[in-house]
């Protein structure tokens, strides 16, 4: 065990720590993002930590949602993300599997199909949604 500044100690047999004993990824080449060790200090110009990605969010400014309509049903109910919003979210979060609502009427869906199962699952887990947007989303999904 070696002491190195304010980072504590180095774990010599841990494959997930860098040569300075920190965990993460940094521009200096070491797997480090602490900003406190001698190599990765933010005060040094040669080494600055990588910019963190935006957290995965589906609400807030710049996102695309349908407004909740208190009287509509199906797609007119609103309360969910638009296709444009889903596309933007997928661009910002590669590997995302986000999809828009299944707005097809249950009588038109083939029982046991992927869409029918997805709709049934959504309706089951959203039973407690009592806000305006929650009720609109459930109407949109024909719950």
The model's pLDDT over 67-108, given as tens digits with 9 standing for 90+, comes to 778 888 777 777 778 888 888 889 988 999 999 899 899 999
| Lowest-confidence pick of 16-20, 103-107, 125-129 | 16-20
Can you tell me whether residue 140 is helix, strand or coil?
helix
Please state the separation of Cα 130 from the chain's center in Å: 23
Grade residue 35 by pLDDT with cuts at 50, 70 and 90: low
Q: Where are the alpha helices (DSSP H) in the chain?
A: 83-92, 114-125, 132-140
- Indicate whether 120 pLDDT > 90: yes
HSE of 6 in the Cβ direction (CA atoms, 13 Å)?
Answer: 6
pLDDT, position 34 = 58
Q: Which of 60, 42, 68, 62 is nearest to 135 (CA)?
A: 68
| Per-domain boundaries in the chain | 1-52, 74-140
- Indicate whether 31 pLDDT > 60: no
């Amino acid at each position: 065990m070696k002491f190195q500044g304010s980072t504590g100690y180095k774990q010599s047999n841990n494959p997930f720590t860098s040569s300075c004993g920190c965990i993460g990824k940094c521009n200096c080449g070491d797997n480090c993002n602490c900003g406190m060790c001698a190599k990765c200090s933010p005060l040094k110009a040669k080494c600055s930590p990588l910019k963190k990605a935006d957290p995965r969010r589906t609400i807030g400014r710049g996102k695309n949602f349908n407004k909740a309509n208190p009287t509509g049903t199906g797609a007119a109910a609103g309360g969910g993300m638009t296709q444009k919003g889903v596309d933007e979210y997928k661009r910002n979060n590669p590997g995302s599997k986000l999809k828009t609502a299944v707005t097809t009427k249950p009588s038109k869906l083939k029982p046991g199909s992927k869409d029918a199962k997805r709709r049934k699952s959504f309706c089951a887990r959203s039973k407690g949604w009592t806000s305006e947007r929650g009720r609109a989303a459930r109407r949109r999904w024909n719950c």
